[in-house]
Structure 1
C-alpha cells in the first residue's frame, strides 16, 4: 500500500472560529444551504457528532461523485483543528482505501483565516493515483468550497 500526502492552504475572509464552526460543526445544515447545486444533503448516520461519527454526504445528480461517507477522527474546538477520513465514495473505490484530511484554522495576518490542510491518501495494493491530478482537481474543488462559504458569510454577516 502506498501513501500520498499533500498540503494545502486556503485563505478565507472569515474569522477562524466562525469558519471552523461552519465547516466542522454545522456542515450538515450549512453546506446544503450554501451549495445546493452541488450538495443535496449531509447527515449523520452513526454517532453523536464527535470522534467516530459517520456522516453521509449526497451530492447533486450529474456530479462525478454521487455520495461520500466520512468518519470524524478528531475535533478540537479550542485549537480549531478537525480531522476526518473519507471512508467510502463512488470514486476511486478500487484504488484508495481511505483519505484522511487534517485541518487547522488560524488567523491570517491581514484578517480572516487560513485553513491549513494535510490530505493523506492510502492507496490499495499496487494501484496508482496521479498525484498532480489530485492536487489540481481536488485542490480547486476545496478552494471553491471555501470561497462559497466565504461568500455566504460576507453576504450574511449576522449568521
Structure 2
C-alpha cells in the first residue's frame, strides 16, 4: 500500500474555540449552507458524533463527486483536535483505501488561530499515485477553511 502524507497550516483571524466549533461541531450544518454548490448535505448515519460515528456527505452539483462517507476517529473538544477518515465513496476515486485527516486548532497571532492539518492518503494495493494527484485535495481544504473564515467574519454572532 502506498502512502503520501502532507502537513498544512492555515492562519486565520478567527479565535481557536470558535473556528473549532464552526469547522467540527457545527460543520455539518454550516458547510451545506455556505457552500451549497459543493455540499448538498452532511448527515450522521451511525453514531452520536463522537469516535466511531459515520457521516455521509452528499456533494452538490459543482462537485465532480456524488458522495463520501467518513468516520470520526477521534474528537477532543477541549484540546481542539479532530481526526477522521474518508472510508467510502467516489471521492476515493478507486485509488485510495482511505484518506485520513488529523486537525488541531491552536492559538495564533493577534487572537486568531493556526489550523494544522495532517493528511494521509492510503493507496489500494500497489496502485501508484503522485503528489500531483492530491494537489487538488490540498487546494480544496484551503478553500473550505477560507470560505468558513469569510462566513464567520461576515456573521460574528455565528457559533
TM bucket normalised to smaller:
over 0.9
**TM-score (normalizing by structure 1):** 0.94
Which residue number corresponds to residue 139 of structure 2? 140
- Structure 2, unaligned stretches of length 5 or more? none
1:40-51 to 2 correspondences below 5 Å: 40-51=40-51
1:35-114 to 2 correspondences below 5 Å: 35-114=35-114
SS class of match (2:19): helix
User: C-alpha distance in 1, partners of 2:35/2:15?
Assistant: 20
- Contact in 1 for aligned 2:45/2:54 (Cα 8 Å): yes
1:93 Cα offset (Å): 4.1
1:129 Cα offset (Å): 1.6
- Structure 1, unaligned stretches of length 5 or more? none
- Contact in 1 for aligned 2:38/2:62 (Cα 8 Å): no
User: Pairwise CA RMSD of aligned residues?
Assistant: 1.2
User: C-alpha distance in 1, partners of 2:13/2:70?
Assistant: 26
1:74 Cα offset (Å): 0.3
Q: Over residues 35-90 of structure 1, what are the superposed CA-to-partner deviations in whole Å (9 max), with x where a residue is unaligned?
A: 11211000000001000000011111242121110100000111100000000120
Higher mean C-alpha deviation, range 106-115 or range 41-50: 106-115
SS class of match (1:4): strand
Which residue number corresponds to residue 115 of structure 1? 115
Number of equivalences: 158
